[in-house]
Amino acid sequence: MYKISEIVQILHPNRTFITDPNSLVQHLFYDSRKIVQADNGVFFALQKSRDGHHYIKEAYDKGVRNFVLQLDEEQEQLFPDANLIWVTDSLESMQVLAAYHRQKFSFPVIGITGSNGKTIVKEWLYQLMSPEYKIYRSPKSYNSQLGVALSLWGLSDQYNLAIIEAGISEKGEMVKLENMIKPTIGLLTNVGVAHKAGFESKAEKIYEKINLFKDVETMIFPNRYVEDIQLPYRPRKFSWGYDEGLSLEVYSLKQVDDKFTVATLFYGGRTFAVEVPFVDKGNIENAINCVAVMLRFGYEREVIASRIKELQPVAMRLELKKGKKNSSIIDDSYSNDLDALQIALEFLNQQGQHPRKILILSDLPGVSLTDEKSLSKLKRLLSEYRLDRLILIGEILTQVADQFAVPSVSYASTTAFLDDIRSLQFEDSTVLLKGGREFHFERISRLLVAKSHDTVLEINLNAMENNLNVYRQLLPKHVKLMSMVKAFSYGSGSFEIANLLQFNRVDYLTVAFADEGVDLRGAGITLPIVVMSPDENTFESIVQYNLEPEIYSFRVLSSFLNYLKGKGISSFPIHIKVDTGMHRLGFMPDEVDKLITELNSSAILQVKSAFSHLASAGNKEDNTFTQQQIDLLDQFTRRLEEGLGYSFLRHIAATSGIELWPQAYFDMVRLGIGLYGIDVERHDLPLREVSSLKTNVTQIKHLAAGETVGYNRHGVLHRDSKTATIKIGYADGYDRRFGNGVGKMMVNGQLVPTIGDICMDMCMLDVTDIEVAEEDEVIVYPDIKLAAKAIGTIPYELLTSISQRVKRVYFYE
């Protein structure tokens, strides 16, 4: 803990307003939504995609009294009992504080960077070296400018080794990370191809990354990445690879039974073998990186071999699944410690779809009966996140169950719990499962999760937040954002997505039909919701559920007015659709005066926005037309505002408009497909793919040349072949036109074509040229844009066609 007066000294602020110099600081906050317990915290108002200064009040209301601010505004009167510290750059100040904290510890700090494998190697080193060291490690993949600062803040004298991840996306970033982390040992993991944005070449990327190793004692790295590179620094080098003369030489890698790999290594004059329990290249490289680190720490070769053999896959995901009886299940298989528990509880806290929240928790390795500190931290966590019920599993938690301030039941083992599961109620709840590996919570998950077949659509919620922020950054501050969640959120889900958007404070949601809006209201969505196609039968739900209809013609206007008449309603929110050239729905430009007259004839309706839709924003040759649409909306809405005597929001740009037409932003934009990571026009935006349709190989067949595959015998084999049958067909939304080689899927990193006609629930792949086993994972659309093109359609159609019987799984990394 630091006194705020110390922090003032560390930060050299521009100005301060200190009411209590002795106020203690233990927690760093940067997101007001995540504050549940404000004591001993300091809130940093960061200017990221959203401006943290807007949330000072919210943090203050939650009880925070220490603030680091960047905008030099007079806030003393608003927060007279707070400590206020004004700095030039609040993120930089947080980094300064983290760096200061880091310098207090003299134990070794391993700094890990690379494009892939950072988190896995970090978790593995933790598994491998925990018997000897008390290891602190960055939580999850906290490796950004902010993530590293937060990671370092967790260092304390209860540890004697730290492993910190560093990740960068553009030039100049690593120097800042190095300044904070000051690693004593550096490790470079796999370096992949250059990112879309940020770097011109792989070499440039490596140069940037190795800035992390400026002051290390030893730098550990696979030689192949650094071969052609002159290291600007002179640390001790610990290189490994196939060449002679490296610190650690790989003599051979031999794969056994598709199950594990025997690596024969040479180090310090002796040959030794380690059995790596993986067969894929990436994990073998990750494992040898771990061997190198252990050798550097002086581990015996025998100890290394015996531990590498026991490496466990690292699950970094937190998955949100649909449960039975109107419940949702959060499955978190990430490491089982108190920090990870807190992250999972935060996620649970964000879920608004069910009234009750339940945690099922197993014994944690870090919490013993005698360890007062950890036990009290656990108690604090469990009381902060308002749980409705706590289910404890394991000998240790059972003994302390009565000490938690939440209604709880406890069981000595997972089996004992499962025997009793019928007596417990999980309806209308969100259930967080957090269990150690040896407690096998997958048995619980299997019982609670709704059944469906093997094909799943995985939705990456981090990626979606990333994309939202990418588009937000293109917008000037005053422009609002409406998110289009029609068609089951472009196929990816309903309340799960809406909930994420609401949490991320978009301004409006839009659905196609009233039913979709009613469902969202039922799931706790309180944002304004626009219904694009209201019809007479749904007016009642529109009013009852506070939905806002789009009015596009005099017919709809008068029938809605008729419906509302005599109900005592006034100023009901509506949105006026204007046809500026799309010629789908909307009032024509010359109808504006008549519209004004009708709207002014009563006070029943209030125009919240008037908008139009660009027909061809992505086509350069139509630029004049697009500009004309923009001008028409401008004229129409000016006239409408004049006529009505009040103002409303104006909007016309969807994703392609956001990307290419800043002059079309008006007061709001409507983000659709871009949220799902499909860049429509520009290719320089750092978007991430959100959804991935996956299935498994059900059966493999070896067939002779001349045989045929599937209906109508269309799949003719011209050579001896191997086929894989997978459980996805046109009833799942896999278009029949993908048959006979038009569709290509990804199996074990290789593209393979379909063979024969697509069946209703299944189809077949030609896997003759690749290594594949039954149950291997299949990625159905490795490149959704190419896939769409292959059958003459667009990604929108492929996404929205994925049938509802395909299970959606949402995850956070």
Beta carbon nearer to ligand PLP, 542 or 654: 654
Residue with the closest Cβ to ligand PLP?
A: 672
Q: Which is nearer to ligand PLP, 295 or 654 (CB)?
A: 654
Q: Does 672 bind ligand PLP (CB under 6 A)?
A: yes
CB of 658 to ligand PLP, least distance (A): 8
- Count of CA atoms in the C-beta half-sphere (13 A) of 318: 25
Beta strands in 541-690 (DSSP E): 548-551, 572-577, 605-611, 649-651, 668-671
What part of residues 171-190 is at the interface with ligand PLP (CB under 6 A)? none
Q: Mask 445-484, x = binds ligand PLP (CB under 6 A)?
A: ---------------------------------------x
Residue 20 vs 634, nearer CB to ligand PLP: 634
- Residue with smaller CB distance to ligand PLP, 278 or 625: 625
CA atoms within 13 A on the CB side of 317: 13
For residue 651, the minimal CB distance to ligand PLP (Å) is: 8
User: Is 486 annotated as catalytic?
Assistant: yes
- Find the shortest distance in angstroms from Cβ 504 to ligand PLP: 17
One of 613, 650, 694, 808 touching ligand PLP (CB under 6 A): 613
Tokens describing residue 204? 């440039």
C-beta closer to ligand PLP: residue 60 or 552: 552
**First-to-last CA distance in the chain?**
29
Residue 175 Cα distances to 182, 237, 323, angstroms: 10, 20, 46
Q: With CB under 6 A as the contact rule, which of the stretches 219-227, 368-376, 670-678, 727-735 interacts with ligand PLP?
A: 670-678
Q: How far is the CB of 486 from ligand PLP (least distance, A)?
A: 6
Supply the minimum distance, in Å, between the C-beta of residue 466 and ligand PLP. 17
Query: Considering the rule CB under 6 A, would residue 670 count as an interface residue with ligand PLP?
Result: yes
Active site (annotated) includes residue 781: no
Task: Check residue 673 for interaction with ligand PLP (CB under 6 A).
Answer: yes
Among 354, 351, 356, CA closest to 496: 351
Tell me the three state secondary structure of residue 47.
strand
Q: How far apart are CA 309 and CA 252, in angstroms?
A: 17
Judged by CB under 6 A, the residue of 138, 247, 398, 655 near ligand PLP is 655
Nearer to ligand PLP, 679 or 757 (CB): 679
* 654 lies in the site for ligand PLP, by CB under 6 A: yes
Give how far Cα 648 sits from Cα of 4, 173, 188, 578, 642, Å.
45, 42, 54, 14, 11
CB of 517 to ligand PLP, least distance (A): 15
Q: Catalytic one among 134, 233, 711, 789?
A: 711
- Among 255-263, 457-465, 554-562, 668-676, which window interacts with ligand PLP (CB under 6 A)? 668-676
Pick the closer one to ligand PLP by CB: 240 or 636.
636
State the pairing for strand pair 605-611/708-709: unpaired
How many residues touch ligand PLP (CB under 6 A)? 10
Contact 549, 560 (CB under 8 A): yes
In whole angstroms, how close is the CB of 655 to ligand PLP at the nearest point? 3
Sheet-wide strand order for 185-188: 135-137, 161-165, 109-113, 185-188, 218-222, 236-241, 248-256, 260-267, 270-276
Residue whose CB is less far from ligand PLP, 69 or 654: 654
Q: What is the dihedral of CA 103, 105, 108, 114, to 10 degrees?
A: -50
Q: Which long-range contacts link 102-108 to residues 24+ away (Cβ below 8 Å)?
A: 102/152, 102/155, 102/180, 102/181, 102/182, 103/182, 104/155, 105/155, 105/157, 105/159, 105/162, 107/159, 107/160, 107/161, 107/162, 108/161, 108/162, 108/184, 108/185
**Which is nearer to ligand PLP, 444 or 531 (by Cβ)?**
531
Query: Using CA atoms, how far apart are residues 74 and 86, in angstroms rounded to an integer?
Result: 10
Residues found in the chain? 813
**Is 335 one of the binding residues for ligand PLP (CB under 6 A)?**
no
* Bridging pattern class, strands 721-726 and 763-766: antiparallel
Whole-number minimum distance, CB 787 to ligand PLP, in Å? 18
Question: Across the strands, what pairs with 530?
Answer: 510, 548
E strands in 513-554:
529-531, 548-551
For residue 694, state whether it binds ligand PLP (rule: CB under 6 A): no
Q: What is the per-residue binding string for ligand PLP in 115-144, x denoting contact by CB under 6 A?
A: ------------------------------
Q: How many CB atoms lie within 10 A of CB 801?
A: 15
Other beta carbons within 10 angstroms of residue 535's beta carbon come to: 14
**Are the C-beta atoms of residues 743 and 754 closer than 8 Å to each other?**
yes
Catalytic residue among 486, 577, 694, 744: 486
- 753's enclosing H/E stretch is strand 750-755
Residues numbered 702 to 731 that lie near ligand PLP (CB under 6 A) are none
180 is in an annotated binding site: no
Q: Which amino acid is at 555?
A: R
The interface mask with ligand PLP, positions 478-517, x = CB under 6 A, is ------x-x-------------------------------
Judged by phi (left if over 0) then psi (alpha if -120 to 50, else beta), residue 749 lies in left
Query: Least distance in Å: CB of 511 to ligand PLP?
Result: 10
Per DSSP, 553 falls in state: S
Name the minimum Å distance from CB 549 to ligand PLP: 13
Is residue 614 a contact residue for ligand PLP (CB under 6 A)? no
Find out whether 670 is annotated in a ligand binding site: no
Instruction: Tell me how crowded residue 519 is: count the other CB atoms within 10 A of its CB.
Output: 16
- 149 vs 673, which CB is nearer to ligand PLP? 673
Closer CB to ligand PLP, 127 or 616, in the complex: 616
Cα–Cα distance for residue pair 55/60, rounded to 1 Å: 8
Closest CA to 441 of 361, 343, 347, 358: 361
Q: Which stretch binds ligand PLP (CB under 6 A): 27-35, 418-426, 447-455, 664-672?
A: 664-672
Could you tell me the two tokens for 123?
A: 């978790």
Report the nearest approach of ligand PLP to the CB of residue 575 (Å).
10
The one-letter amino acid at 572 = F
What residues are designated binding site for substrate? 584, 760
Instruction: Detail the residues annotated as belonging to a binding site.
Output: 584, 760
Q: Binding residues for ligand PLP, per CB under 6 A?
A: 484, 486, 613, 654-655, 670-674
Residues assigned a catalytic role: 486, 711
